[in-house]
Amino acid sequence: MKIDYFDVPFTMPVELTAMVNIQTYIFEGEIHLQYAMAKTKIKLFLNGIEFFLKQIEDSYCHRWIKNRSGLFYSSYSQ
């Protein structure tokens, strides 16, 4: 199964499992995205904000956080 894009309402927890496993949740007003096993380019829309995720190694977990200044940043951990 290929996922080209999907909409994620930022007010609603979502868990998608296919080639991508994504968990979305709200914590203290921040948006946290956690995913693994990404095999294709993914296009996310969060509250009108568009960004791309692609080609992450299976052994890593990639976390995107929308901080209070509205910027996205990422960190890797095994």
* pTM of this structure: 0.17
Question: In sequence order, what are the beta bridge partners of 52?
Answer: 43
Name the nearest CA neighbour of 45 among 69, 14, 10. 10
At 21-65, the pLDDT tens digits run 344 433 434 444 444 333 333 444 444 444 444 333 333 334 443
Q: What is the predicted pLDDT for the residue at 62?
A: 40
Q: What is the predicted pLDDT for the residue at 43?
A: 46
Name the nearest CA neighbour of 9 among 25, 29, 20. 25
